Amino acid sequence: MKKLYEYGGIAASIVLIVFGVGAVVAGIAGRDQVRTELAREQIVGTPDMKGVADRKVDTGAEARDFAAGMRKHTLEATGGKTYAQMPRFQGKDGQPTNDEKLAAVDPKSGAPVDNPARQIWVTETALSSALNTAYFAENVALFSIVMGIALLLTGAGFGVVTLRLLRREQSRDARGGRVAPAPASA
């Protein structure tokens, strides 16, 4: 039974170290993929965007800043109204309306014409969601790296404790059951 505990402690140390290395590698690869994909899109902030003014967007934090700038621009384009606050249709008189009877009709489909200003929000939401996902993904990758390092340290510490106890047991057995004194620390 004693050997089972010894080998179990060593195996647990190895498993923790392997998972730690895996988490660090996965985190680094994830972070690199986020940055590579953002750089590939060649997004450049406009002069009025905080954090990314006239700069290429290639990190998660910069993607979040660009998304915030897009929201600001969209609010400006829609008179400060969000998607849900805007009428659904383009009226026959050119003014937006929620009344389908007053809406302009598309001659090809016969359906009411959507409010074009409202469609800006559809595009903005799709793009900003993707950018905010890049920010989130980069933070998940960072978390993976930190957790991997924690697992590595835990595994190494567990291994040191296990090996020290094994040496102590071997020393006790060699002395006929007496425990060897712990080495003095300086």
The string of pLDDT tens digits covering residues 17-30 is 999 999 999 999 99
Residue for token pair 């993707």: 130
Residue range 97-120, pLDDT digits in tens: 999 999 999 999 999 999 999 999
Q: What is the pTM of this model?
A: 0.77
Sorted by where each begins, the domain ranges of the chain are 2-174
Q: Is the pLDDT of residue 121 over 80?
A: yes
Greater model confidence, 129 or 184: 129
pLDDT (tens digit, 9 = 90+) per residue, 51-88?
A: 999 999 999 999 999 999 999 999 999 999 999 999 99
Any idea of the CA torsion for 86, 89, 94, 99, to the nearest 10 degrees?
Answer: -100
Q: Count CB neighbours of 138 within 10 A.
A: 24
Residue whose tokens read 């800006």? 120
pLDDT at 173: 67
Instruction: Tell me what pLDDT residue 167 has.
Output: 77
User: Which residues share a beta bridge with 97?
Assistant: 89
pLDDT at 90: 93
Core vs surface per residue 5-20: b (16+ CB within 10 A) or e: eeeebeeebeebbebb
